[in-house]
Each structure stands twice: as C-alpha cells, then as structure tokens.
Structure 1
Amino acid sequence: MDNQTETTVGRHRKVILFPLPYQGHINPMLQLANLLYSKGFSITIFHTNFNKPKTTNYPHFTFKFILDNDPDDQRYSKLPLQGMGAFARVFLFNQIGGDQLRHQLELELLAKDEPPVSCLITDSLWHFAQSAADSLSLPRLVLRTSSLFCFLVYASLPLLDDLGYLSLSDNNRLEEHVIEFPVLKVKDIKKMAFKRDNDAIGEAICNMVKQTKASSGIIWNSFKELEEPELETVLRDIPAPSFLIPFPKHFTASSSSLLDQDRTFFPWLDQQPPNSVVYVSFGSVAQVNEKEFLEIAHGLEDSKQSFLWVVRPGFVEGSAWVEPLPDGFLGEKGRIVEWAPQQEVLAHEAVGAFWTHSGWNSTFESVCEGVPMICSPFWGDQPLDARYMSDVWKVAVYLENGWKREEISSAIRRVMVDEEGEDIKERARVLKQKLQVSLKKGGSSYESVDALVAYISSF
C-alpha cells in the first residue's frame, strides 16, 4: 500500500499532529500518533524539515513539511536568534508561522477523498497555533511534554518574578524553600534559567501557558496517581479537559530517534548481574565542558560500579566525542555509546539506576520501568523534575552542587550499594506497580485513553 492509501482506508476521522522539532518533543507526539492510529484514526503529521523524523519508520502516517521548506526565505538564515540557542526556531515560527499554518490547515480541511479532520493536536509550545485553529473553527488540543507540576510552576512565573525569585542575587538564600511551591528550593527556580527582563524564552513560556488554557484539551505524558494533587489544581483552574496517558507503556520511542541507536552493547549488558549497571544519559541537547566531563568520568570510575554511558557527539564542548577521556578509562566495568534505545535499556534487568539530566521523557521512562534515578538537571523543567522525584516520591538522589567526582561517586553508591538504596529501589518498584494498575481496565490511564478517543470522535 502507498502511504496515502494506508492512512485513509477504513478510517473515518483524521487527526493532524504538529510536534516541536526536538527529540524530547517528537518522541511523545509520535507515540500519541501511534496510539490514535491504533484506535482507528487517520494520522497526518505536520513537521519542519529541521530535525525531520525518519518517515520510513511510519509508513502508516502522512507527513507534510511546513514552515521552513522555502530555501530562499531569508528569515531562516538569521538562526539562531540571540540568546535563544537551540530553541531559536520555536521563537521564530511562533512569530511568523501563523499564515502558513492556517493555509496548510485549510488545505487539509478542504481535501477531497480523505477523512474529515477531527482536530489539531500541537505541542503546547507552538502557541501561535491556537489563533490559526480558532480562525478555522478547528478544535486544537495540546500535548504537554513535561509534568503537570512543571506546568503549574510555569503558570506561576509572573508571580515568582513579582516576588523576586527570578532576579534574586543573594546566594545565601539558595537553600530556602519557595513558599508558593514548598517542595522547591530557591536554587531550583534559579536553575530554570529564566530571566526577569527581555527574556524571549520566558515570554514564550507565558504565551504557552495562556494558549494551553485556551485550548480544547490537554494531553499529558503522565498518570493520575503520579501527580494527583497537581491534577486537582489543573482541573480546578483550566476548563478544558485533561487526559493523562503514560505513552512509554503504549509504544516505544525507538522509531522516532533522530540519532542512530547503538545496539552492540547488549551482549555485554546481558552478561551483567541484575541491578548492577548504572545507565548514564543526559539527553539530546545538554552540553558540558571538558572539566565537567572528566569529573563525570572519574565519579563513575571511583564508584566501582559497572556503567553504560551515552555520550552524544557534541556533548563535550570543543570535542567531537570522547577525546578528553584518559587512556584505559573504560576497562571491563564500562561501555560508552553515542546513543541507545533508552526504554529497552531501562527495562533490562541488569540496570539498577539511571543517572539522568531529568528531562521529563527520561524521568517518566524511568518511573515506568521502576528504575531509581540520580539527577543532574541542567535548566528549564529539569530541576523541577529532579526535585519532584527526589523529594516527593523519593525515588531519586539529586546531585544539587554541580559536577564533583566525590559527590557523583557517593550518589551512585547510595543508590546501588548502600542500605538507603534498598528503600529507594522499593519506592521505585511501588510507583511502577501503581502505573501498572492504572493501565488495567477501570484504571485511570485506561479510562483516560478511552475518554480521549471519545472526545476526539465527538468533534
């Protein structure tokens, strides 16, 4: 079957999905697309040519490339915008993409011999999509790729700014707890790295919150029992319905990986005793300098634990890959790869802990597999996720003071070797069990999937 035929035959409604073009946003959106396809919907994916997914992995979807498909458009030559880094395109397209998105949606709505369009589902950070959808009376749902807790903190940024947290320069107050979010410390707010004045990222976050509240519904990569107090607040404050669905338990993210995944280490991993390996990965965007990289390496070595370490090319500033490592570093204790099928690794019985940057996808995948965490967040939602896992659920150790080999080694041993680690592992197992119960018929996650399908079908 050709692509167009496969997406339409026997399918009575079409859903258009529009992910943000970054790995941590593409993964849950395509997992959601697979879930909706399995429920009978035809799927069309809008995407930029930048960071385009491997479409051959999704012959059952129709892909339309928009926004940056004109090579002569001089606006794209200005990227990255000053101070925006990797997210320059998000800022730019939110400013200039409305007309093109509206035109593309009109074409989909008028298309003949195709199922009618039920709704548009976009990443919540594509906040400009709300006005485009509204102009066509097309329901827009949003996918939030971070936690409910993170959303509530983001929604409170103006308040936190008014209270002086974003501009606080007194380092003596960093260990204080934030009155409005008692689980957080002041340094967690500071580590989010939003500025008080002229902050384009902060502005984008505030617009995201506003347009998420104006949407027809919110889909979360989470489950009720994980964030029940936060869900109560969201349901109270936002009229649109919320649907909490644990995507990693429905579909793997391997097929949406932008990087080639190394599988050559699995024979080695298969030979390791249960719960004996530390899996280390800091995501698809973060970088460290050479000094920090060597502290990580020495911390791993000093812990005396076996490890599987993902070092993405470009992870070390100024280095192509792992050139700064000392000769003979690995030995038999460790393996280093450029990228790995993370969900499969976390599900492996040999893995006993996950040292992570605390991005929400990684955090939630670890929760889904009952793997305790060691958290080294960089910015944005990551310090919030780290604090929630370490201080609310107590399934993680938070490395709060940067990259120090002694603290790294100690944290690894706390989880992997010490008596404290047994309690952490048990809490992680209990949390996984709560998730498994939610997936059974009558459970919160099971019911949320049914509710989402019924809601989309009602448009």
Structure 2
Amino acid sequence: MSITKNAHVAAFAFPFGSHPTTLLHLVKQLAAASPQVQFSYFNTKSSNQKVSSKVDSTHAHESNIKIYDVDDGVPQGHVFSGNPIELIEFFVKATPGNFRKRLEEVETEMGMKATCLLTDAFLWFSVEMAEEKGIPWLAYWAAGPSSISLHLYIDVLRAKLGSDSGRIQNLDQTLDFIPGMSEIRASDLPTEILQLNGLFSRMLYNMSNTINRASVVLLNSFDGIDFIVENDLKSKLKMLLNIGPFPLPNAMTVTEDHSGCLSWLSHQAAASVAYISFGTIFTPPPPELVALAEAMEEKQVPYLWSFRDNSKRQLLQGFFERTSRIGKVVEWAPQSQVLSHPSVGVFVTHCGWNSTLDSIMGGVPMICMPFFADQMINRRLMENVWQIGVGVKGVFAKSGLVEVLDLVLWKDEGKKMRENIGRMKERAYTAVAENGSSTENFKSLTSIITSSKFN
C-alpha cells in the first residue's frame, strides 16, 4: 500500500457533552498508532480546557498532535442564561466559518494541507469542506448504531408519525417500519428528529441528509451489538466501522483517582454498591433527586454518588450527612474503573451512550433515568432488547425507585440482567482484543488515513 507523505488529519469537535472527549481519545489512539501522521484537533477554548482534564494520559505526550481553539460564537460580555441550548446555538451560528478560518491558519503555520477531515458527525458541513479539498471525510458518531439509523430515516419518521409541529399522535406506536426498531416507540424519539425549530435541530437534519456522503462513518460501538441495525446501516453508508468500546477501563491509571473512590469501594461487599451519575450536562430536577435519596436511605444501599451540580447539592446535604457511614459523594469519579470494580452492583444512570458502554464493560446492570437526545432510545434497548437494565415505571417517585433497587440488587430479575450484561461484556472485550473486530477495524482506519488512494 502506498503511504501518503506529509499526511495531516484535521479533527473537528462538537464541543458539548461527552462528544469532544471521546473524539480526542480517538485522535490520541490514532496518533500513537500512526506516528508519521500529523494530527490537528480543533475545539472551542472552554471545551479544550475541560477535555484536557478528563482525557487519559496514556497518549498525552504524542508529539504528532496539536490542539487548537476555534471561536465559540458567544458575544463578548454575554451573560449566560443557564440553558445549554443557548451556547449550542451560538456555536452553530459560528460554524462553519470558525473551523474553516482556523484550519486555513493552521495549514499555513504547518506548511501542510489537511489530507483528511475526521470530525464529529454533527458537523455536517465537513463533507463540503472535504469535497472542496478533494480529501476524505471521516464522520465520527459519538452514540450507538440505533440512534444514527433513526437519523437516516428522518424523513420517513416525519411522514409516518407526525406533523410540522413535531407533535406525535400516538406516543406508544412502535417503529417497526424501520429495520431493527420494533421495540422503539415514538415517545423515545428525541424532539430534534421531528422538529425544525432551532439551529441545533437544523444542524442535525442537515447531518441526516449528508452522512451517507462520508467516506467512512465511525462508531464507538462493537460488531454484533445489533446485527439488524448494523446490516441496514452498511447498506446505506459507503463504509461503517465499529471501533469501540473506547477508552478501556485500564486506560486510566489508579493515580488519577483523586477522590479515593476506588479505595473506598475496596472496603464494600461484592455487588452491593449503587454508583450514581447523570453525566456532565443535566442533573435531575429536585423532586427526582429527593425521591432517589429517600429510596436509597430506606433500603440502606451503599452508594457512590458523582454529584457535579453544586447548585443542587445543598438540597441533599442532610441525606449525605445521615448516610455518610454507608455512602460517599464526590464531584468526579473515574467512571469506567468504578464500574469495573467488583463492589458495584447497579448503575443509576441517565443512559448516555458512553455511560452505557462503561456499564457494559463493567458488567453492571442499570437503573435508567433518561433526560433527552438518544437516552430514551438507549433506555428502551437496555430494558426491552438487551434486558440489562430497568426504568422506573410511572411517576418518578420513591416507591418506584425502591421497587427497582430491590429488583436489580436482590431479585432473580437482577441476576438475569447480570448474566445478560456479562455476555455483552464478553463480546465487547473480544471485539477490542488482538484480532478482534474493533481492533481490525481500527487497523483499517489507520490504513485509510495514511493511504494515498484516499488522499
């Protein structure tokens, strides 16, 4: 195979949630595997500052990676309202000009044109930039195969379900008209799929209509997680590569456990602890937090709670004090390692895709509290398809939480969930082992970014 001289991969991040962190993990892995290639990672300044503190140090000193800031679009002196969508829409307004301008500056500084664009799939305009330059666009999808499949069927969904307002007539209707979606219901769909009432929704709609032009679509997933959906995707995309799950739990060294989570877990009984974390964007509303705390206290379940929202911490201060003998609250936890610890018996989660993968890799069943985006879809997969988790029935109240804690931790249904997720864990580790499907797909990816036939 012919190797391109002066290969330069430009990576564009979507700077919200877990998106920029997982993309940088991928860039670092590629940089370590392809030392002859130069990598430029573009993200907003505030997001770069957050990401640098989260990404593992395994490949932190790769000399062939440089990180650059792009304009976030926020006006000088703007007072933030607290609504995350506000920042997203400022950023969307700034695209694609912010990326185009910064890339041109970097190309001049380096004396090297980009030979490949590796970008978050949300940044749909990357395909136009890549086509202008005559280089491949590699689109990284930060969620699972089911959610990207639904985006490919966006016009079908609108025609079947709805109205211009995005209102769904029958929320219980299943999506059995889409391959592999017979258990997904209309009520599980993100509002962005059915509505075009904002810049972010339009960005996703544009992505839905351009993703099939990507040279390669990359998923942080593994072959076999859903054969029907994967095969349908492969029939619609030029190339689909599952390259996950990543990063693996052992990618983060124990010395980064600044809060002492792992040492605390080592003093707990096997499969007894509830690990609680709701991601980086939203925290449940106060009534739900109180209901969860009351259920934990009634059942006297040992807990490790990663609680980031200081504005709501006082709400549960009495609970934390009363249960300090059996619980630990921290602002941050090394999640993948926590979920791989034998003391953890259940994960109370918002059902984000990265958290779902972390739980699979740890073999820990889940109690599902989804908020938005693909989280409702993931909840349905966990509960109805994979049978590795359970949602709270009806109103989110103490009684429902007590019921699901009983079910997962102590009843036969929970034992069955642990068996099911144990089998998924085995498949996931097989995929990333030597000669595994994700390992081989990653090798194909490194060949693509260095091969002259793509450049």
TM bracket (short chain): 0.7 to 0.9
Aligned to 2:156: 159
Q: Which runs of 4+ in 1 moved over 6 A?
A: 78-81
Please, what is the CA RMSD of the aligned residues?
A: 2.8
Aligned to 2:20: 26
Checking the alignment, whether the CA contact within 8 Å between 1:31 and 1:247 is kept in structure 2 is no
2:184 match: secondary structure: strand
Q: 1:105 aligns with which of 97, 103, 107?
A: 103
- In the alignment, the residues of structure 2 paired with residue 12 and residue 252 of structure 1 have an alpha-carbon distance, to the nearest angstrom, of 32
Q: 1:321 aligns with which of 308, 313, 318?
A: 313
- In the alignment, the residues of structure 2 paired with residue 65 and residue 416 of structure 1 have an alpha-carbon distance, to the nearest angstrom, of 45
- In the alignment, the residues of structure 2 paired with residue 371 and residue 59 of structure 1 have an alpha-carbon distance, to the nearest angstrom, of 33
Q: 2:416 aligns with which of 408, 423, 432?
A: 423
Aligned to 1:148: 145
- In the alignment, the residues of structure 2 paired with residue 394 and residue 208 of structure 1 have an alpha-carbon distance, to the nearest angstrom, of 31
- In the alignment, the residues of structure 1 paired with residue 167 and residue 38 of structure 2 have an alpha-carbon distance, to the nearest angstrom, of 50
374-383 vs 194-203, which deviates more? Answer: 194-203
Does 1:340 find its partner at 2:340? no
Structure 2 matches for 1:34-45, cutoff 5 A? 34-40=28-34, 41-45=37-41
Checking the alignment, whether the CA contact within 8 Å between 2:367 and 2:392 is kept in structure 1 is yes
Structure 1: where are the runs of 5+ without partners? 1-10
Checking the alignment, whether the CA contact within 8 Å between 1:122 and 1:140 is kept in structure 2 is yes
Structure 2: where are the runs of 5+ without partners? none
1:286 match: secondary structure: coil
- In the alignment, the residues of structure 2 paired with residue 199 and residue 111 of structure 1 have an alpha-carbon distance, to the nearest angstrom, of 36
Checking the alignment, whether the CA contact within 8 Å between 1:376 and 1:402 is kept in structure 2 is no
TM-score by length of 2: 0.86
Aligned CA distance change for structure 1 residues 179 and 250 (closer, same or farther; 3 Å): closer
Checking the alignment, whether the CA contact within 8 Å between 1:99 and 1:132 is kept in structure 2 is no
Deviation of residue 122 (structure 1)?
A: 0.9
Aligned CA distance change for structure 1 residues 382 and 402 (closer, same or farther; 3 Å): farther
Q: How many residues align?
A: 430
Deviation of residue 320 (structure 1)?
A: 4.7
Aligned CA distance change for structure 1 residues 48 and 265 (closer, same or farther; 3 Å): same
Aligned CA distance change for structure 1 residues 101 and 74 (closer, same or farther; 3 Å): closer
What fraction of aligned residue pairs are identical, expressed as a percent? 23
- 1:69-117 deviation per Cα after TM superposition (whole angstroms, max 9, x unaligned): xxxx774666869xx9314444344343223422333344445566x64
Q: Which residue type is aligned with residue 314 of structure 2?
A: V
Does 1:230 find its partner at 2:229? yes
Aligned to 2:267: 271
1:387 match: secondary structure: helix
Deviation of residue 432 (structure 1)?
A: 0.8
Q: Which residue type is aligned with residue 153 of structure 1?
A: L
Q: 1:414 aligns with which of 386, 400, 407?
A: 407
Structure 2 matches for 1:417-456, cutoff 5 A? 417-456=410-449
Aligned CA distance change for structure 1 residues 112 and 383 (closer, same or farther; 3 Å): closer
Structure 2 matches for 1:343-358, cutoff 5 A? 343-358=336-351
1:120 match: secondary structure: strand
2:183 match: secondary structure: strand
Q: Which residue type is aligned with residue 159 of structure 2?
A: D
Checking the alignment, whether the CA contact within 8 Å between 1:32 and 1:247 is kept in structure 2 is no
Aligned to 2:43: 47
Deviation of residue 45 (structure 1)?
A: 1.0
Does 1:303 find its partner at 2:299? yes
- In the alignment, the residues of structure 2 paired with residue 205 and residue 402 of structure 1 have an alpha-carbon distance, to the nearest angstrom, of 31
Q: Which residue type is aligned with residue 152 of structure 2?
A: A
- 1:138-183 deviation per Cα after TM superposition (whole angstroms, max 9, x unaligned): 322111001110111123233222223574466xx54443333321
Checking the alignment, whether the CA contact within 8 Å between 2:367 and 2:391 is kept in structure 1 is yes
Aligned to 2:69: 65
